[in-house]
Structure 1
Amino acid sequence: MEFPGIWTICIIICAFGCRSVSNFQHVSSLRVAQQNHRPKVVDQQQFWELNNKLGDIEAVHNVLSKILVERVVGTPNHAMVREYIVNYMKNLGWTVDEHEFFDDTPLDRLKFTNIIAKVNPNAKRYLTLACHYDSKLMENFVGATDSAVPCAIMMNIATTLKEQFKSLHDSEISLQYIFFDGEEAFVEWNAKDSIYGARQLAKKWQAEHELDKIDLMILLDLLGAPKPTFYSYFPETEGWYYQMADIESRLGAAGQLVEHAHNSATIQHQKRNQGYFQPYSIRMQIEDDHIPFLRRDVRILHLIPTPFPEVWHTPSDDLRAIDFAAVTNLNKIIGIFLCEYLHIGSASTDH
């Protein structure tokens, strides 16, 4: 991903729950269903059950032990990590497709592989959670926040909520994961040397009319550093952004968000005054895997901190950069969000 060279930022203070409506005059029945979709807040019993399950991040550590290596496209490590992710998701019972293609890079013509995993491959609509799994071509760069931790969070949620997700196997709306390949530039970020996998997949799915099936794409990037701050970047998805903020608030009020000094082994549950999800909208374009989908009218929730972590694109973005308290909190927030969006159990809300 790339930060804009010159910022033109408009900050808008929004009330929680605000949400814009699409300007399309003619929308398909899928679009209507997507626009009318509302979350269902989990009841108290399920809230505590999910909190306890998602607080166990053993799978995060296990995944990181396998993928926290240099994994540049075209290298043996990259192939090893791809195979590990594919087998991991298959072993959970998900249907996995590998979207393979060749593309020209400044270095050579290379083979890329996007990994698409679905709970129910026959669903009419999908909530899509995405990240990239390749790492930047840089000496001693393993990309912990960029984006090994997002991969590990997604895979941990799939593991810890395996029983909850069983209800999605025959549902009309289900869950889809995308692990993008080739997000990083090989030489210098530009329109051709970046987001190889996202560009190719968005083009392919547009031709196949698969994009209409995506309710919402949540793109995770640069996660795992201490005290991230998030903003709503797109008016079309502000309501869903504030749903995440509300989940964080509920967890905080219950004393179930954890904190510890960075790299300290001591973790404590406590109420937190400063949230990750800020009550602001920022109109700013960050170049990332969502761009080809955004340009094709897919609704995007970009979960990336602003400012970027200090270790961004440096060799210091390794295991030592990870704050596992922040990872635990994000694991809980994202996991509960998935359940509430997909109506897994629970009572309704008027959000």
Structure 2
Amino acid sequence: MSFAIILGIFMCTTSAWGQWRTNQKTHQLSLLPESSTLRLCRDFTNQTRFKEILAPIMVPRIVDTPQHRQVGDYLQSFLHNLGFATEWDAFTDTTPFGTRNFRNLIATFDEAAPRRLVLACHYDSKIIPGQVMIAATDSAVPCAMMLDIAQTLAPYMYKRVAQQVGLQLIFFDGEEAFRDWTATDSLYGSRHLAQKWEQKWFPSSSSLNNFELSKEIDRIDVLMLLDLLGAANPSIGNTIGMGATELFSQLADVELNLRATGCLNAIRRNVFNKQLSYNQVEDDHIPFLKRGKINVINFYVNISSGVPILHLITVPFPSVWHRSSDNANALHYPTIDHMTAVIRVFVAKYLGIAPA
């Protein structure tokens, strides 16, 4: 094959890839009727249900232990029963304590959809020698928030406006360091999955006259990562370089609009603020932010645009961070209800879900 043909194919691929990313980054949220918004915010909020969802996760979840596997199986069963296609990304890796078995859980509603809105968190817990670590905010509550949102929205997914966008939930394993946080002792699950998806290809067009291939990682419209949530008085801001500033602003607008409707009145302070920060927190989004790129210097093409990220983490961290006191006593349910409602409405608007 000649250089000219190769270059022609490459340029078509990069052009399509660039358009793909443009479509993702400029995705318009649906305008919902006030009746649907109130139902999503007010009627779908049920603290008793949330506590029932959360309870099986509120145990120590140290990687490759029986309780850890039990929690993973609970997450998988819960989502399978809602109609999500579930799969395990299982692998082994070397840790300071020897080889360990890891399992990322991936749950997808509508696998055929070419694009995905991804909600993610980690489900393992920190090792604190000699102490029992429940890790309620880090990240049992984020896991439960994702399950709650999936349960309330799944019945309406078939009628969503954005049929080209599926909903995907990822529960990363091995986010916590076994000993001290380093490039190799942390983010085990997200590092593995980001690398795997960057090397996996799928046909982004089935047209006989317009056959295109894209990387699996590039199916992600935006990755919304939840972490350190559940305590009172959270403050979540946006960070420079995440590639989703407009979407974060829309998320903050959702909170303001919901408060204006009167369905958010449990806490006084807004959680989400639009002010940009330069203080990036290392978390499971980093491997995805660094990947999903095209960098080909030889052909004088240098397109660099990682997976867009919405990092929903409170800064400063909760006072119970990495302490045994990160348990049920650290949780503030009015705040949890507030955040879950905002995220639920944002997801519904992104997908075009309007419950009657």
* Band the TM-score falls in, shorter-chain normalisation: 0.7 to 0.9
Secondary structure in structure 1 of the residue aligned to 2:121: strand
CA contact (8 A) 2:83 2:154 kept: no
State the shift of 1:26 in Å: 7.3
Kindly indicate whether residue 227 of structure 2 is the aligned counterpart of residue 221 of structure 1: yes
Secondary structure in structure 2 of the residue aligned to 1:79: helix
State the shift of 1:250 in Å: 1.3
2:3 corresponding residue in structure 1: none
Secondary structure in structure 1 of the residue aligned to 2:251: helix
User: Which ranges of 4 or more aligned residues in structure 1 deviate by more than 3 Å?
Assistant: 24-29
Structure 2: segments with no counterpart, 5+ residues: 1-13, 201-214, 292-305
1:211-269 per-position Cα deviation (integer Å, ceiling 9, x unaligned): 11000000000000101001111352111111111111112122222436xxxxxxxxx
State the shift of 1:283 in Å: 1.2
* Residue in structure 1 matching 2:33, options 37, 43, 62: 43
Secondary structure in structure 2 of the residue aligned to 1:27: helix
Q: What is the correspondence of 1:340-351 to structure 2 with a 5 Å cutoff?
A: 340-345=349-354
In structure 1, distance between residues paired with 2:96 and 2:150:
36
2:325 corresponding residue in structure 1: 316
Q: What is the correspondence of 1:8-27 to structure 2 with a 5 Å cutoff?
A: 27=17
Q: What is the correspondence of 1:170-181 to structure 2 with a 5 Å cutoff?
A: 171-181=163-173
CA RMSD of aligned residues (A): 1.8
1:191 corresponding residue in structure 2: 183
2:344 corresponding residue in structure 1: 335
Kindly provide the amino acid, as one letter, of the partner of residue 248 in structure 1. E
CA contact (8 A) 1:168 1:175 kept: no
Choose between structure 1 and 2 for higher RCO, CA contacts under 8 A separated by at least 6 residues.
1
1:212 corresponding residue in structure 2: 218
Kindly provide the amino acid, as one letter, of the partner of residue 202 in structure 1. A
State the shift of 1:286 in Å: 0.7
Kindly provide the amino acid, as one letter, of the partner of residue 36 in structure 2. Q
2:153 corresponding residue in structure 1: 161
Secondary structure in structure 2 of the residue aligned to 1:158: helix
1:125-183 per-position Cα deviation (integer Å, ceiling 9, x unaligned): 00000000000111211100000000000001111223222335992111100000000
1:290 corresponding residue in structure 2: 285
Q: Which moved more, 1:164-173 or 1:36-45?
A: 164-173
Secondary structure in structure 2 of the residue aligned to 1:152: helix
CA contact (8 A) 2:248 2:310 kept: yes
Q: Which moved more, 1:279-288 or 1:324-333?
A: 279-288
1:125 corresponding residue in structure 2: 115
Kindly provide the amino acid, as one letter, of the partner of residue 200 in structure 1. H
In structure 1, distance between residues paired with 2:49 and 2:153:
12
CA contact (8 A) 1:258 1:325 kept: no
> Which protein shows a greater Rg?
2
Secondary structure in structure 2 of the residue aligned to 1:188: coil
In structure 1, distance between residues paired with 2:162 and 2:98:
43
TM-score between the two structures when normalised by the length of structure 2: 0.84
In structure 2, distance between residues paired with 1:169 and 1:340:
9
State the shift of 1:284 in Å: 1.5
In structure 1, distance between residues paired with 2:50 and 2:85:
21
Secondary structure in structure 2 of the residue aligned to 1:175: strand
Compared CA separation, residues 47 and 168, structure 1 to 2 (3 A): closer
CA contact (8 A) 1:54 1:160 kept: yes
CA contact (8 A) 1:64 1:149 kept: yes
In structure 2, distance between residues paired with 1:300 and 1:216:
6
* Residue in structure 1 matching 2:270, options 266, 275, 279: 275
Kindly provide the amino acid, as one letter, of the partner of residue 250 in structure 2. Q
Q: What is the correspondence of 1:35-184 to structure 2 with a 5 Å cutoff?
A: 35-138=25-128, 139-167=131-159, 171-184=163-176
In structure 2, distance between residues paired with 1:170 and 1:54:
21
Compared CA separation, residues 225 and 194, structure 1 to 2 (3 A): same
Kindly indicate whether residue 245 of structure 2 is the aligned counterpart of residue 238 of structure 1: yes
Q: Which moved more, 1:337-346 or 1:134-143?
A: 337-346
State the shift of 1:27 in Å: 3.5
2:7 corresponding residue in structure 1: none
Kindly indicate whether residue 244 of structure 2 is the aligned counterpart of residue 252 of structure 1: no
* Residue in structure 2 matching 1:200, options 192, 200, 214: 192
In structure 2, distance between residues paired with 1:135 and 1:212:
29
1:176-224 per-position Cα deviation (integer Å, ceiling 9, x unaligned): 0000000000000000000100000000000001111000000000000
Q: Which moved more, 1:157-166 or 1:43-52?
A: 157-166
CA contact (8 A) 1:119 1:168 kept: no
CA contact (8 A) 1:120 1:170 kept: no
State the shift of 1:54 in Å: 2.9
Secondary structure in structure 2 of the residue aligned to 1:279: strand
Structure 1: segments with no counterpart, 5+ residues: 1-23, 261-271, 347-351
